[in-house]
Amino acid sequence: MAKVTIDGLEMEVPDGTSILNAARMVGGDIVPPAMCYYSKLKGSGGKCRTCLVKVSQGSAKDPRPMPKLVPSCSTTVQDGMVVENITSLDVLEARKGVVEFLLINHPLDCPVCDQAGECDLQNLGYKHGLAKTRYEEERRTFEKADIGDNIKLHMNRCILCYRCTYVADQLTDCRSHGVINRGDHAEISTYISKAIDNDFSGNMIDVCPVGALTDKTFRFSSRVWFTKPMDAHRDCKKCSGKVVLWEKGNEVLRVTGRKDKYGELEEFICNECRFEKKNTSDWVIEGPRHIDKHSVISQNHYELLNNIKVDIVKYQKQVAERVNKG
Amino acid sequence: MARKILLEHLNVPGIETLEVFRKMGGYQAVEKVLKTMSPDDVTEEVKKSGLRGRGGAGFPAGMKWSFIDKKSEKPRYLVCNADESEPGTFKDRYLMEKIPHSLIEGMIVSSYALGAKTSYIYIRGEYFYVLRILEKAIAEAYEAGFLGKNILGTDYSLDLHVQIGAGAYICGEETALLESLEGKRGNPRMKPPFPAISGLYASPTVVNNVETIAAVPHIVNMTGDEYAKIGVGRSTGTKLISASGHINKPGVYEIEMGLPVEEFIYSDEYCGGIKNGKRLKALIAGGSSVPILPEHLITKTANGDARLMTYESLSDGGFVSGTMLGSGGFIVMDETTCIVRNTWTLARFYHHESCGQCSPCREGTGWMEKVLHRIENGHGKMSDVDLLVDIAKKIEGNTICPLGDAAAWPIASAIRHFREEFEYHVKYPEKVKDPKHFFYAPFVSEKMNASIA
């Protein structure tokens, strides 16, 4: 066990935990944002640099501070480490810089982006970004690429977190896409123009922190905050079958995996569940999915509406009893 | 004449062949090491010599070797970084081209010290003809029994391979080099773990520059203590400097550490002064990624001491008034140079070479290049200069590998020392329309004129 202090909060965590995961164990404001790290994907993290923190004391043995800001997702805690996240101005300044870098070439097409409302970059931008851009040049664009029937790749929005390549490496039997070119022309691509098609490829959509990979079957059907998320499950031979249905009326518009409060999937689901089972009758509905109250999705109060549903049968029985007595 | 070690026999005809190289004392170190010394003895000698990495960072080589994980059961590797791509640096190419056996001898001795059974030379893709020279030399060494099984009848065996890169600057960063050597995309790895623990094929690995490795046999031959006597303080030995720019005699020079910068620029033995009798304006002392120095800080440090060609003296004053020895790419600029244009050229290079893995470098290098392009072509605003400083500050130190720093430092330092020139470009856009704007009439500081009047 290692004793570590993050933003003045002391905690004890198992050895080998990363600073980010240590902070997540406590939760709240001290958790650094993460755009590329994904706890369920091995090797992810360290790329986006939004989770940079300051280590003001390396460890109890070697109390020297670390010379540079370190990525909290890939730096393991040491016993006696003191970490500053939101209490350090350097960190906030650097984070602001990183968010600006991520946004300068981002198309900012949120009004037409299916990810809007559940986009990590949007949240990050609202929290740390500037209201005005200092970037005057034309934004970078890529040629449109078709990567198959189910997944829409919109490369202009990509922040190159590499999560989708890890998904393909670690969940599917064959990775057919990757990063080609370098620098700010690096892009996710299937070389040359292949379709991504295998049973678990749909998880790329869920792990994508931005709207670069979206569900073609859901494309432009509704804004996410007009839909109501319902936990549901079914017997699936390939995966756990535990999903969230995004419904509008009685129509299932979209099926996704269940995400925790850090936007990570609890369990990966298969493409059959995701793309093919679009009828309520395919699913056993468990009840409304709780979405954080700060999310725009909660603003349509689907949970409350569900709670005040009147149980007519119960009332009828009560009335009948009263009549019988009377 | 100053003492030469690496390039001592440069002008001997046929030095690229094994026969002549041996006649000049080559491969003596291999015999000495394999027959009379233990691997730890060699490491100890290198430690004593104070040899520092010649690739740019200047990390003590002996210390780097001692970090290698000896408890691991995995094979150990020595990788020679011959991916010399820093603009302004061409010393490794020269050494490998002229005296290829000095590198091979160094590889054998160093591999023995590290206990490596397989070693690699990772050479830059553009050096294709040097690859041929090296391959020929390696074949000769195999034939003479210096490589292969049971070298010189001892039980030490070593295989040496040359791998050619595909022309990416980033593959000169040691972990990106290892990725590329493994056949993957050349993206730098996260550190820790350092290569000494988990490098090539997740095995303990040491990555050294060509010049560092080539110096090792000489250290073994003359002993580490003797080598440490050359040079000043913690900068020991000799260093190859690739001199280029507006000087009379550009080329590769071997200098003893501690040579005054002034002597190096103006002495006929070295650069031979500024071309056409022009005035010196600026200096990039150690390859394009180090901070640029203005005239008044080149020959003297901020304290007024003479600036010497050592790791310490060049970095005297930190980034405010100093620079770094880096890889020894010595670029001299005279008064006709436009610093903005020069900075833009460098920014363009880093923009092109950024690997695109982490966001500050991927987005920031392109942004800086565009802003500099705007300023240089007379479309800039005053606020752009501060914007550049701010972007550079936000890249520096926040990236995975040093490429982000390398892109930010030259720009930040150019603005620090030559801010007035950037402002001139903004103020007088019509005067900078001609790309050769300072060629006929060098830039003159208005502040200076005002103070004289």
Let me know if A261 is exposed, middle or buried by CB neighbors in 10 A (0-12, 13-18, 19+). Answer: exposed
Write down how long chain A is: 326
Which pLDDT band, with edges at 50, 70 and 90, does A309 fall under?
Answer: low
Answer yes or no: is pLDDT of B24 > 60: yes
Mean pLDDT of B266-270: 94
Q: What is the per-residue DSSP string for A26-92?
A: H-GGGSPP-SS--TTSTT--SSS-TTEEEEEE--SS--PPPSS-EETTT-B--TTEEEESTT-HHHH
Best CA proximity match to B332, nearest among B369, B281, B296: B281
Which pLDDT band, with edges at 50, 70 and 90, does A191 fall under?
Answer: confident
User: How high is the pLDDT of residue A310?
Assistant: 63
Best CA proximity match to B98, nearest among B210, B221, B266, B235: B210
Dihedral sign from CA coordinates of A300, A304, A307, A313: negative
Mean pLDDT of B228-245: 94
Inspect the interface and report whether the beta carbons of B354 and A74 lie closer than 8 Å.
no
Least confident of A291-300, B35-44, B85-94, B392-401: A291-300
Average pLDDT, chain B: 93
Dihedral sign from CA coordinates of B279, B281, B285, B287: negative
CB A324 within 8 A of CB A262: no
Question: Which CATH number does B339-452 carry?
Answer: 1.20.1440.230
Instruction: Spell out which residues of chain A touch residue B359, defining contact as CB-CB under 8 Å.
Output: 47-50, 98, 101-102, 159-160
Mean pLDDT of B136-164: 95
Which one of B197, B362, B368, B393 makes the best mutation probe of the A interface by having the most chain A beta carbons within 10 Å?
B362
Residue B342 CA to residue B345 CA, distance in Å, equals 5
Answer yes or no: is pLDDT of B453 > 60: no
Instruction: Spell out which residues of chain B touch residue A135, defining contact as CB-CB under 8 Å.
Output: 367
Answer yes or no: is pLDDT of A146 > 60: yes
Which one of A55, A90, A184 makes the best mutation probe of the B interface by having the most chain B beta carbons within 10 Å?
A184
Beta bridge partners of B247: B274
Best CA proximity match to A273, nearest among A302, A218, A236: A236
Inspect the interface and report whether the beta carbons of A101 and B363 lie closer than 8 Å.
yes
| Cα three-residue angle A212-A217-A220, rounded to 5 degrees | 70
User: How high is the pLDDT of residue A173?
Assistant: 85
User: How high is the pLDDT of residue B312?
Assistant: 93
- Topology alike, domains B18-229 and B339-452: no
Instruction: Spell out which residues of chain B touch residue A160, defining contact as CB-CB under 8 Å.
Output: 356-357, 359, 362
Residue A115 CA to residue B253 CA, distance in Å, equals 59
Residues B291-323 have pLDDT tens digits of 999 999 999 999 989 999 999 999 988 889 999
Dihedral sign from CA coordinates of B293, B294, B298, B303: negative
Which pLDDT band, with edges at 50, 70 and 90, does B448 fall under?
Answer: low
Least confident of A133-142, A314-323, B228-237: A314-323
User: How high is the pLDDT of residue B452?
Assistant: 61
Determine whether domain B234-334 maps to CATH 3.10.20.600.
yes
Mean pLDDT of A202-210: 95
Residue B303 CA to residue A243 CA, distance in Å, equals 69
Least confident of A266-280, A286-300, B263-277: A286-300
User: How high is the pLDDT of residue A294?
Assistant: 82
User: How high is the pLDDT of residue B449?
Assistant: 65
Percent of chain A with pLDDT over 70: 98
User: How high is the pLDDT of residue B381?
Assistant: 94
Residue B64 CA to residue B58 CA, distance in Å, equals 11
CB A198 within 8 A of CB A109: no
CB B186 within 8 A of CB B400: no
Under CATH, to which class is B18-229 assigned?
Answer: alpha beta
In eight-state DSSP terms, residue B15 is: T
Q: Give, rounded to a whole angstrom, the gap between the first and last alpha carbons of chain B.
A: 46
Inspect the interface and report whether the beta carbons of B362 and A183 lie closer than 8 Å.
yes
Average pLDDT, chain A: 91
Inspect the interface and report whether the beta carbons of A186 and B356 lie closer than 8 Å.
yes
**Candidate from A101, A137, A182 with C-beta closest to B359:** A101
Q: How far off is chain B from A250, nearest CA to CA, in Å?
A: 42
User: How high is the pLDDT of residue A308?
Assistant: 59
Domains in chain A: ranges and CATH: 2-92 (3.10.20.740), 105-133+145-215 (3.30.70.20), 224-307 (no CATH)
**Candidate from A68, A100, A183 with C-beta closest to B352:** A183
Residues B355-376 have pLDDT tens digits of 999 999 999 999 999 999 999 9
Q: How far off is chain A from B25, nearest CA to CA, in Å?
A: 45
**Candidate from A69, A93, A160 with C-beta closest to B356:** A160
Domain boundaries defined on chain B = 18-229, 234-334, 339-452
Answer yes or no: is pLDDT of B1 > 60: no
Interacting residues of A17 by C-beta distance below 8 A, sequence separation 6+ = A2, A25, A76, A77
User: How high is the pLDDT of residue B205?
Assistant: 96
Mean pLDDT of B405-413: 95
Which pLDDT band, with edges at 50, 70 and 90, does A307 fall under?
Answer: low
CB A184 within 8 A of CB A138: no
Percent of chain B with pLDDT over 90: 90
User: How high is the pLDDT of residue A94?
Assistant: 95
Inspect the interface and report whether the beta carbons of B356 and A48 lie closer than 8 Å.
no
Answer yes or no: is pLDDT of B273 > 60: yes
Interacting residues of A240 by C-beta distance below 8 A, sequence separation 6+ = A233, A267, A269
Interacting residues of B16 by C-beta distance below 8 A, sequence separation 6+ = B98, B99, B100, B101, B133, B137
Burial B322-337 (b: 16+ CB within 10 A, else e): bbbbbbbbbbbbbbbb
Answer yes or no: is pLDDT of B447 > 80: no
Instruction: Spell out which residues of chain A touch residue B362, defining contact as CB-CB under 8 Å.
Output: 101, 160, 183-184, 186
Least confident of A300-309, B48-57, B212-221: A300-309
